[in-house]
Chains A and B, each alone.
Chain A
Amino acid sequence: DGGITQSPKYLFRKEGQNVTLSCEQNLNHDAMYWYRQDPGQGLRLIYYSQIVNDFQKGDIAEGYSVSREKKESFPLTVTSAQKNPTAFYLCASKGGQRDYGYTFGSGTRLTVV
């Protein structure tokens, strides 16, 4: 079945370490997104990519980095510069310009101790 796979579901890291969250889709979607969710704040956009080898900052990009080397993959790295990285991270994808069907992964809960 087509969909988005985020791994791992739970991730624990020590403060000061970089960590990479995986997001893979087999929907042949062009656009991919990373959102962060904190309690009471809804989902906020970190980075998005419209096409391979291209990505743009969202509303809260500081302390994060991404790459889009393959259409299927959009990994997110949470760097040590991110001051409060503990959160729930959701990856999403969308088809072409006229396709407004967004597909979301099941999320990764990152805890930094």
Chain B
Amino acid sequence: AQKVTQAQTEISVVEKEDVTLDCVYETRDTTYYLFWYKQPPSGELVFLIRRNSFDEQNEISGRYSWNFQKSTSSFNFTITASQVVDSAVYFCALTGFINTGTASKLTFGTGTRLQVTL
């Protein structure tokens, strides 16, 4: 069975602070994909990143960066110099590869609500 744990339910920061959202996962698949999505108040899911299990390189995209560590089964997300527009719920998700066929199911964490204030 797959499981994604986002232990931080809610985080509040002041604008320009850096913030890290934690994600820990469990899977028996040897090949898998990890995702981060942003959900603004309007409700739609905005795709942020996809990372496969063979690629442990950290990635940076503007103010966003991701730290993938297989040894600790973690895929943490850092926002540098946070802005009010970053306020949203952020979800980490996981899908396996083997034995799941074409419809690989996404397993989501419970989300972390980030509130950035002035």
Contact = CB atoms under 8 A, between A and B. Distances in A.
The number of chain B residues touching the other chain, given as a range, is: 20 to 34
Interface string A24-38: 000000110101000
Majority secondary structure, B binding face = loop
Contacts of B91: 42-43
A100 B105 contact: no
B106 interface: yes
Nearest to A54: B103
Contacts, number: 65
Main secondary structure of the interface of A (DSSP, over half): strand
A39 B52 CA distance: 29
Interface residues of A, number: 30
B106 A102 contact: yes
Contact of A88 (B43, B50, B101): B43
B109 A90 contact: no
B92 to A, nearest CB: 9
Given A49-B103, A106-B43, A100 B95 contact: yes
Interface of B: 6, 9, 33, 35, 37, 42-45, 47, 50, 52, 91, 95, 101-111
| A-B CB proximity, top 8 nearest | A50-B103, A31-B103, A42-B110, A104-B45, A43-B108, A42-B108, A106-B44, A107-B43
Interface of A: 30-31, 33, 35, 40-45, 48-51, 56, 58, 88, 90, 92, 94, 96-97, 100-102, 104-107, 109
